[in-house]
Amino acid sequence: MQVVLGSGERGRPIRELQAAHVSRLVRVSGIVIAASKTSCKATRVRLQCRHCRNETGVEVKPGLGGFVLPRFCRAERPDAGAGGDDACPLDPYVVVPDASSYVDAQRLKLQELPEQVPTGEMPRSIELAVDRRLTDLAAPGVRISVLGVYSDAAGYSGGRTVAGFGLDEEEAMLALSRQPGLYERLARSIAPEIFGHQDIKRAIAALLFGGAPDKRLPDGMRLRGDINILLLGDPSTAKSQLLKFVERAAPVSVYTSGKGSSAAGLTASVVRDSGHGEFHLEGGAMVLADGGVVCIDEFDKMDARDRVAIHEAMEQQTISIAKAGITAVLNARAAVLAAANPAFGRYDDTRSSADNIEFQSTILSRFDLIFIVRDVRDDARDRAIANHLEAIVRIAEALAKMTLSPVASERHVAEAIRLFKVATLDSASAGAIQGAEGALRPEVRLEVQRVEEALRRRLAIGSMAAERRLLDYFRGEAYSDFAVRQAVVIMVRRGELEWRRQRKHRLCAWRSTSVEQENCTGQA
């Protein structure tokens, strides 16, 4: 006999179920998002001892419960002494399927109704176990109200953990806040192993603290308090190191690379469970970092369509999902710290800032601060970085490990300094290490720009000229060979020039018509 209960109680939302409701009759309402196939569930299992063939029955708990096999044989045999030959072994029982009793059973996944989900929260769900006449009554997408026993095995996990301070820690924080120069002290504590970038470190300190959250205007509009920062500049300027430090320092943080991140990975996705075939919502990096910081490296390597997907998350700090019957608005209240390279790989001094930044204004407007990180060639700055760079420490440690010494001694440090000077400083002073293409001295940069203008006037679209002839011509015009080669490299990188036939150059149409472009391409 199956007893089906009814109740006039109004169904409560799933998120209101608490520990006080465990093992009690509750009524909840929601929408079925997944339903398993109807299967058989045992209500009484028949067991048989493998040694003495004794049979016994075990009751199976209803709902999501199961049963436990007895460890010892239950047969009362007076002739079997403890440890004797006739004693049954440990775990003697096996299940006799044909002698067991079964009923139809099915599992449903019940999710909160969309109108019951607070704005910015992920919808919660519970698992339902139904049997006998209640199977095959509800399909995915049907809204139902159920009355049943709330079991801890069918509970859900959710909510948010808030960290707090003790009384002693509060006093320490208050004492720290009253110290003079706290702003500079906090800035110096941001990635202290990285030399320079003081303004960037000050901005990152402000990002970690954030502004006032949940500011509401009189018309109900919400203004974000999180700060978004973009670091745009040359490679090898410690942008990734700054992002890694923020990931370690922030209590809630997610680090991802734009090169391997998709729109679904950054926002949210609807995934089908391979086991049960049901859909469920999975939050991406922006959702997982709710209340913290999202560090996106190689921001320029992201696909443009994937980059558009985070527009809503960066400004409104929400992510709207409407897929596979799941409609939800997720919170993405996170600050964004992104690092990217310029359009040409390195920052080009001969081009304007608009040409170096290839991002659209729609994404740039969502960053509060945009820093241009340069690798400028400066002897004093390079020497300061060298005195700071950690190469000598690493070399000294390696020399100490060769002698199995737990501590690097003075002779190890002296040899590390000698190697560093020979390998780096002496090579740089001899001219073996050239400056970066985009890091030219002002006088050299002006000379390179004049060479570029002269090249555009001298070479027609589709024409070719040997590099040696170009050097001879500009040498006669009192230009240095370095400026000529640098101008050629920059123009090749832009696409204005290209190499042909064993280091020959020609000028391609940079802003030409389609006819000129066709003629340029058609020539050998």
Q: Give the separation between CA 381 and CA 76, rounded to whole angstroms.
A: 90
Antiparallel, parallel or unpaired: β 253-257 and 335-340: unpaired
The residue behind tokens 């230009």 is 479
- Give how far Cα 374 sits from Cα of 197, 339, 392, 470, Å: 10, 13, 24, 31
Give per-residue pLDDT as tens, 35-84. Answer: 777 888 888 888 988 888 888 888 887 776 677 888 888 776 555 455 55
Tokens of 386: 């060298």
Tell which residue, 458, 437, 473, has the closest CA to residue 506: 458
For the domain with range 173-373, which CATH number is right: 3.40.50.300, 3.40.47.10, 3.40.50.620, 3.30.300.30? Answer: 3.40.50.300
CA-based R_g, the chain, Å: 35
- Every domain of the chain and the residues it spans: 14-154, 173-373, 384-419, 442-522
Q: Are 34 and 109 in contact (CB under 8 A)?
A: yes
Tell me the fold of 442-522: Arc Repressor Mutant, subunit A (1.10.10)
Residue 58 has φ and ψ, to the nearest 5°, of -130, 130
Residue 26 has φ and ψ, to the nearest 5°, of -135, 155
SS (H, E, C) 285-351: HHHHCCCCEEEEECHHHCCHHHHHCCHHHHHCCEEEEEECCEEEEEECCCEEEEEECCCCCCCCCCC
Strand boundaries in 406-496, DSSP class E: 464-466
Decide if 173-373 and 442-522 have a common fold. Answer: no
Per-residue pLDDT tens digits of the chain, which is 524 residues long: 778 888 887 888 888 888 888 888 888 888 777 777 788 888 888 898 888 888 888 888 777 667 788 888 877 655 545 555 567 888 888 888 888 888 888 888 888 876 677 766 777 888 888 888 888 887 766 778 888 888 765 433 333 333 445 577 788 888 888 888 888 888 888 888 787 788 889 989 899 888 887 778 888 777 888 889 999 887 777 888 888 888 888 887 788 887 767 777 777 777 776 655 666 666 677 777 778 888 888 888 887 777 787 888 888 888 887 877 777 777 788 889 998 888 766 776 666 677 777 777 788 888 888 888 876 665 666 566 556 567 788 888 899 999 888 888 888 888 888 887 776 655 544 433 344 444 566 777 788 888 888 888 888 777 777 778 888 888 888 888 888 888 888 887 777 787 775 544 444 444 433 333 333 433 32
Strand boundaries in 181-226, DSSP class E: 215-216, 222-223
CATH numeric code, 14-154: 2.40.50.140
Tokens of 142: 């049907």
By CB atoms closer than 10 A (0-12, 13-18, 19+), residue 287 is: buried
